[in-house]
Structures are given as structure tokens and as C-alpha cells.
Amino acid sequence: MIDRIILGDNQFFGINHMSEQKASALSEKFMDLRNILNVIDAAYDCGIRALMLNTNDRAKGICDYLRENSSRYSDFCLYPSMPYAHKYANSVAQKGIFTTIKETIISGNSFGDIIQLVTKGGSTLFEKDMIKVMQLLVDVEMKMFRGLQVKVIFLQNIVTDLLLGFCLKEIFMAFSDYVQSRYGIEAGFITMNMPRLLELLLESGMENPIVCSAINKSGYLMNPDIASYEAVLRKKSFRPIAMSIMASGAIVPEDAVRYVSAFPSIGSIVFGASSEHHLNETKQLIERYSGLKNNADRVCDS
Amino acid sequence: MIKAGFIGFGRMGITHFSILNSHPDVEIVAVCDQSRMMLNILKKYLSVATYADYHQMMESESMDCIIISTPSDSHSEIIRTAVENNMHVFCEKPFCLNTEDGKRIVENINHKSLVNQVGYVNRFNEVFEEVKKLLEQNLIGDIRYFTSEMHGATVLKDSKSGWRSNRETGGGCLYDFGSHCIDLVVYLLGPPDRISGTILQSVYSSEVEDMVSSNFIYDNGIRGSVFINWSDETYRKPANIITLFGTHGKIIADKHAVKIYLKESQPQQNLNKGWNTRYITDFSKSVRMYVRGNEFTRQLDHFVSCISGNTLNNTIGFNEALKTDIIIKNIIIDANPDQVKNADSDSVLLTDMQPKAKPMWRKILNGRGVSL
């Protein structure tokens, strides 16, 4: 069961889709890991038990903290999203895609894995089996989560949407199969093109896929348009997770939560907050509107 | 159906492929790249013809347009060949390293009805489009001063390998970041009449500059500074910031927000006296397929729309992109007193650019009530 409320992590890493100034201020605030951990502590104290975490370097420190405090965080679940594309962007620009992937795999895998890689053909492995390369990259990214509870492993939106444009449905299927077989965890997909991705996943035979996308009343980051999102949310069989519900601050929390709560199929909401006040406010709103929604459902059912 | 070919399949080529491959009016028929490994992967996973030699690709394939995302020093030769083969061309920025090549290409392409576009993607960002609109409405009066900055964390150590570390192949912060930063000035204010006080400075790189500062001087009284730094690790992603100071107010804009200061309120535009902030969420337009930012889709859809004849004027054709190439050339000359001999002829280049540029420029500025 995916958590109803998941704390997002964009704010910790200086990501704000609306304003570079706000992003920079957040980045400054959360430069000190302690400030990130304080927010996670506050989230836990107000009853939030889930955190979406992109696999960047700062995430390692968060995972270390959760392991060190495993008794307190024993019921806390992580929802990793990978890869953190910006981590690789400069290396790709300077060294090229293959060198970057090779260096990542070699730096992140054990001696045995590397031997296996070399015996499988080294550089020609890329040509023979991109799926194997993807699996090795997943293993590298998953290392930081060892010993922690992970519920869903997400493919991050830059990669999801790039592959979507290529129509590489076999990679999506392979990602899903691999994380299930290797880690016993379901795969999820983050996208800025939810209706198009969903169509491809359902066509490929994926059942009830987990898709995380921006869902907000102003249609921000919802492509091709808000109407297509609303149509699939009402008609298609999948597990939607809503993010960017406040459109990076452009929508007031109550309006944001009310809009998302009107879609019964949305089982989970990811939201970012950087203060205890905002955490509590948003969590209470989600719970209040979830309750209203459930009451409304009951009225309809009766 | 528009048949497209790709030359160069690195980070930008892959992005453009993903965007165009999902376009309902485009069929990608072939890809050319120097990496055999990449071509083998493409052969295995995609139904496109693959080539290591673009001449061969152009001879063998029937294509309406070509997308060039190769290192900058190869642009002019590939564009020339594509134009000879009557193909519409989208080329990554900067246009041509050699301005004489660029001028010849512009002259040749003007005789043909071929769509031509350079990847100055900031022109398709909704906030910068809004700034352009506000300037055309003369919102902040006569512009007196501007700064155009670009910061990022692309080079954080000395890397001697790769084309980005070599000026001759189009490397260095000036060509890579600077071209975007300068094009934004050309887009909003037109090209300057003179360049002065340029400093090219290394932070980590031994072969190329990592920082650029330069002053732009306009005969109509506008003064401005350009500051570019690709070695600043405080930026998560490359960021452009432009500040425009005018007689009636001030505008500060980046890709996500515009702050407007007005001496008097503008009720018809819903702008108050003092500070007003508008965010990307106010202007953002959804796209049919989002990859790495909707401006990337909007620029390629604009290119396709121009080919289809649905859009008549390409806002960033070769002629417009050449202005940035010429400015970059003059910045390099301004920074190198040793090349003062060449500087004479090259400063003429900057002046040469004006007669072509000025009619459009003058029109815009006159509309804003700026005396020239």
C-alpha cells in the first residue's frame, strides 16, 4: 500500500520550479544537512511516514541518518527516484554518455561486478545489452538505501520522458521487472507527460502502473493539457500519485488539496515543505479533504 | 510527413530526437554519429538508418530537414552541405565559429526558401518572451543600462579532453554559455555598436576561459554589461539573469520569474507602482511533449511549424544568430590587445552588422519611443 502522504525532497536540493531566487534561498538553508534532518524529524513527529528521495549526493547523508536512528524511524518508508540526472549532466557533456555510464558503474560496483562486466564484453556490453547496463546503474543508485524500507523505486522524470519520446517501452518494462525481481519492490514512473506515458505503459501490458506527475488546478507542468490529465484520472486504471499540487507556491494549499482530492483515483500526494508549520498545515488539509472525499463516496455508494 | 535526419547524437541530439520523434508530423529516417557504439544501439532499438558519414547519409536518404547537434567547429561545413542538398536546417548554438562562413551561408540560404534556425532556446522561454513584450510596450521607458548574466557549474576542474576545452573547436565559456547570454541581449535589445573592457578569465581551465565580463555600448545611449561564469558550483543548473534599468522602471528576469519595478502604476496591465512579481506559473504554456523543459519542445515545434508553412517568420534564423557570432568574435578581439591589427578589420564586422540589423531594431526601439 502506497502511503497517502509522502514528503517530497525538492526543497532540500534547491529545486523550485517557480523561482530561481526561492530555489537559491532553499539551497542555502538546506546546505547544512542538519536543517534537512530537522524537517524530516518534524514530518515524522506530525505523522508522516514516507519520503521521496532523489539519488543525489545529499540523499546519502539522509539515508545514513535514518539508519543511525533506525529505532525511531522503524516505520518510515523511502520512495527513491533515480537517477539524479544533473549529477551526470556535466560528465556527459565533457566525457560523453558511454564514458559517464562506464565510470558510474565501475565506481559504484564491487570488484566482482566489474569482472562480470568485463567478461561480458566491456564496452561492447552497451551494444549487446542496454538492459543489463540499466540494471547495473539501478544497483549503483540503490546502494545508498541498504537496510532501509523502500516501497516504490521511481524512474526520474528526465529519463522517463526522454525514453518516452523514443517510445522505448521495453526499457520501462525491463526496469519494472528488474526492481521487482532483484529487490522485491514495485517500480514507479515520474513524468511530465502523464497521459502519453500511461498510454504506452498500458499498451505494453503493464498492469495498474504507478505514475507520479504534477497534478494541480492551474495545469502547471501538465502536458499536453489539464483536460487530458483529468480524463485519464477519471477513466484509466492506474495508481496516480500527485506532485506539484501547489504549482511551486502559485496555488494556495487549501485550493491545491481540494482540487487533487476531487479525484478518487489519486491515492497519494507528494508535497514539499521546509517548515513545521507548512508540514502540519498541508498534512491536515490532505487528511481533512480525504475524509470529506470518503464521506462523499459513502453518500454516493449508499 | 516531414522526414528528418539527425547529425550528432550527444546530449542535445538525444533530447531533440526524443522531442521530434513524438511529433505527429515528423518521421525521423536517419541518424549520423561518430560513435559506432551509439549507432549499434540505435540500430538495435530504433527503426532508423544509421550513418557514420553525413555526406553518405545525405546522398542515400530522402530528408526534408536536418538537426545538427555536433561540436561547434563542424557546423558551417555540415550546414553548407545540407543547404546544397535543399534541406531545412536546425543547428545547435553557436551558429558558426568563423563569421565569414556564417555570412556566406546566410547569403546562400537567402536565395532558397529553406527554413533555418539556431538553438537559442531562451527565446522560447515564456518569461523572456514576456520581458520582450513589456519592452515593446515601452513599460520601463528608455533603457539606460542592462546586465545579462549566465552562471552554472559546468566546469569545476581543468579538463583538457573534449571539444569544450578547446577554443578552436568552439570550447570555452564564451561560446558555450556566452552565446546564450549574448543572444538574449540581441533578442531583447538588438546588437551593440561597440564592445569594450572585456576580460576573459580562467578559474580551472588551462586552455579556455571560465569567466567572461564585457561591456556593450549602443549609439542610442544604452550601456550594458555581460557577465558569464560556468565554474560557479552554487548553481544547480545553468541560469540566465537579465536586469534592465529604464527611465520609468526596472525589470529583473530569469527563466522562472520576472520582477518589475515601476515609478508609476500601469492599471491597464495590472501592474502596481513599485515592485510587481510574476512567475513562470502565470505564463507557462503546456506542450505536446515535455522533455527537459517546455522551451525545448516549443523551439522544435516552431521549426516544424515554419517548414509546414504555418509560421512565416523564424524568430531565430541564421541571419539573427550570426549577430551573436559577430559579437563573440569582437569580444575575443577586445580581450586580446595582441590581435589589435586584426581588431581593425573585425571591429568593422560589428559595424557591418548594424545596417542589416538596424531597420528591425530601429523599428522596435522607435515603437518604444527611444531616440536614436
Band the pLDDT of A292: cuts 50, 70, 90.
Answer: low
Interface of A with B in 268-287 (CB under 8 A): none
Q: What would you report as the CA-atom Rg of chain B, rounded to the nearest whole angstrom?
A: 21
Q: Tell me the three state secondary structure of residue B146.
A: strand
Which H helix or E strand runs over B148?
A: strand B143-151
Residues belonging to chain B? 372
Q: Where are the domains of chain B?
A: 2-122+295-318, 123-288
Residue A192 with chain B: CB contacts under 8 Å: 290
CB contact under 8 A, A223 and B290: yes
Answer yes or no: is A100 within a domain: yes
- Residue A89 touches partner B, C-beta closer than 8 Å: yes
Interface of A with B in 204-263 (CB under 8 A): 218-226, 247-250
CA distance B259 to B244: 11
Angle, CA A157 vertex, CA A153 and CA A160 arms, to 5°: 80
CB contact under 8 A, B46 and A166: yes
Q: What is the DSSP string of B71-122?
A: -GGGHHHHHHHHHHTT-EEEEPSS--SSHHHHHHHHHHHHTTT--EEE--GG
pLDDT by 10s per residue, chain B, length 372: 999 999 999 989 999 999 999 999 999 999 999 988 889 889 888 989 999 999 999 999 999 999 999 999 999 999 999 999 999 999 999 999 999 999 999 999 988 889 999 999 999 999 999 999 999 999 999 999 999 999 998 888 887 767 677 877 788 999 999 999 999 999 999 999 999 999 999 999 988 999 999 999 999 999 999 999 999 988 878 999 999 999 999 999 999 899 999 999 999 889 999 999 998 888 888 999 999 999 999 999 999 999 998 777 788 999 999 999 999 999 999 998 666 444 444 443 454 454 333 333 333 333 232 221
pLDDT at B371: 22
CB contact under 8 A, A225 and B286: yes
Position A156, amino acid: Q
High-pLDDT (> 90) share of chain A, %: 62
- Pairwise pLDDT comparison (A192 vs B205), residue with the higher score: A192
Distance between B139 CA and the closest CA of chain A, angstroms = 22
- Pairwise pLDDT comparison (A121 vs A214), residue with the higher score: A214
Answer yes or no: is A12 within a domain: yes
Distance between A273 CA and the closest CA of chain B, angstroms = 19
Burial class (CB in 10 A: 0-12, 13-18, 19+), A181: exposed
ipTM of the predicted structure?
A: 0.87
Q: Topology of domain B2-122+295-318, per CATH? A: Rossmann fold (3.40.50)
CB contact under 8 A, A165 and B19: yes
Distance between A187 CA and the closest CA of chain B, angstroms = 21
**Which residue among A20, A27, A165 sits closest to B256, beta carbon to beta carbon?**
A20
Range list of β-strands (E), chain A: 5-7, 50-54, 77-82, 149-150, 152-155, 186-191, 210-214, 239-243, 268-271
pLDDT at B350: 53
Which of A274, A238, A273, A276 has the alpha carbon at shortest distance from A257? Answer: A273
Tell whether the model's pLDDT for residue A188 goes beyond 90: yes
**Which residue among B45, B236, B289 sits closest to A168, beta carbon to beta carbon?**
B45
Sequence-distant (6+) residues with CB within 8 A of A141 are: A55, A80, A82, A83, A108
Query: What CATH number has the domain bearing residue A162?
Result: 3.20.20
Answer yes or no: is A139 within a domain: yes
pLDDT at A49: 96
Q: What is the DSSP string of A93-147?
A: HHH-HHHHHHHHHHHHS-HHHHHHHHHTTGGGHHHH-HHHHHHHHHHHHHGGGTT
pLDDT at A134: 87
Answer yes or no: is A206 within a domain: yes
Residue A24 with chain B: CB contacts under 8 Å: 234
Q: Which domain holds residue A23?
A: 5-58+76-245+258-272+290-297
Q: Which of A24, A94, A101, A228 to mutate to test the interface with B (most CBs of B within 10 A)?
A: A94
Sequence-distant (6+) residues with CB within 8 A of A198 are: A209, A211, A232, A236, A238
- Give the pTM: 0.88
Tell whether the model's pLDDT for residue A300 goes beyond 70: no
pLDDT at B167: 78
**Which residue among A93, A196, A218 sits closest to B11, beta carbon to beta carbon?**
A93
Q: Which of B19, B164, B281, B282 to mutate to test the interface with A (most CBs of A within 10 A)?
A: B281
Residue A196 with chain B: CB contacts under 8 Å: 22, 289
Q: Topology of domain B123-288, per CATH? A: Dihydrodipicolinate Reductase; domain 2 (3.30.360)
Nearest CA in chain A to B34: A96
Distance between B241 CA and the closest CA of chain A, angstroms = 10
Tell whether the model's pLDDT for residue A161 goes beyond 90: yes
- Residue A174 touches partner B, C-beta closer than 8 Å: no
**Which residue among B154, B155, B279 sits closest to A19, beta carbon to beta carbon?**
B279
Task: Give the up-direction half-sphere exposure of residue B332: CA atoms within 13 A in the CB hemisphere.
Answer: 24
Residue A15 with chain B: CB contacts under 8 Å: 236
**Which residue among B17, B19, B256 sits closest to A18, beta carbon to beta carbon?**
B256
Domains contained in chain A, number: 1
CB contact under 8 A, A15 and B236: yes
Band the pLDDT of A87: cuts 50, 70, 90.
Answer: low
Name the residue with cell 519494472. A176
Which of B349, B350, B330, B353 has the alpha carbon at shortest distance from B340? Answer: B330
Position B345, amino acid: S
Q: Which of B92, B231, B236, B252 to mutate to test the interface with A (most CBs of A within 10 A)?
A: B236
- Pairwise pLDDT comparison (B341 vs A26), residue with the higher score: A26
Residue B231 near residue B153 (C-beta atoms within 8 A): yes
Distance between B125 CA and the closest CA of chain A, angstroms = 13
